[in-house]
Amino acid sequence: MRLNMKTKSVLWYTIYSIISTILEEVALAAIVLWGLPYFNIHIPWWGLAMLMIALAVYSYIAYRIGKPTLTMKPLVSLETMIGSEGKVVTPLAPEGYVKVKGELWKASSTELELEVGDEVVVVGIDGLKLIVSGKERQ
């Protein structure tokens, strides 16, 4: 059986969540049973049980909230930006902002100046800044 990357990510996230929850429960029990009595603080067994149940519920809720982020498809990724078309939002002389795939990006122009509303094509990426050129000038 072959697993794809998303399935592996979810599987490892689940395994990590189970192991970390067990370790947290053990640490909580150790603190209540051996650490607190050192300071003359005694919690009854039912109090420890309530704390462990609360921690388990918290861990489950955190797991349920975090799991969908691993299977979410990215809306915009840098790998797909090159070749994408967009429009200039602020004048590019040579830096400004463009809107590509519905997202606002900082950009620099390969040309002298592009005005608001000009159509552009992404030709490169520098960190998180797009390198664009005018669409009709390609």
What are the helix (H) ranges across 1-138?
A: 5-30, 36-38, 45-66, 68-71
What gap in Å lies between CA 66 and CA 125, rounded to an integer?
A: 30
Average pLDDT value for residue range 68-85: 77
Q: What digits encode the pLDDT tens for the residues 80-91?
A: 788 999 999 999
Closest CA to 3 of 12, 75, 65, 66: 12
What pLDDT, on a 0 to 100 scale, did the predictor assign at position 80?
A: 78
pTM, two decimals, is 0.53
Domain boundaries, the chain: 5-71, 78-137
Per-residue model confidence (pLDDT) at position 96: 93
At the fourth CATH level, which superfamily is domain 78-137?
Nucleic acid-binding proteins (2.40.50.140)
pLDDT tier at 108, thresholds 50, 70, 90: very high
Q: In this predicted model, what pLDDT tens digit does every residue of 6-63 receive, in sequence order?
A: 677 788 889 999 999 999 999 999 999 999 999 999 999 999 999 999 999 999 999 9
CA 59 to chain centre: 19
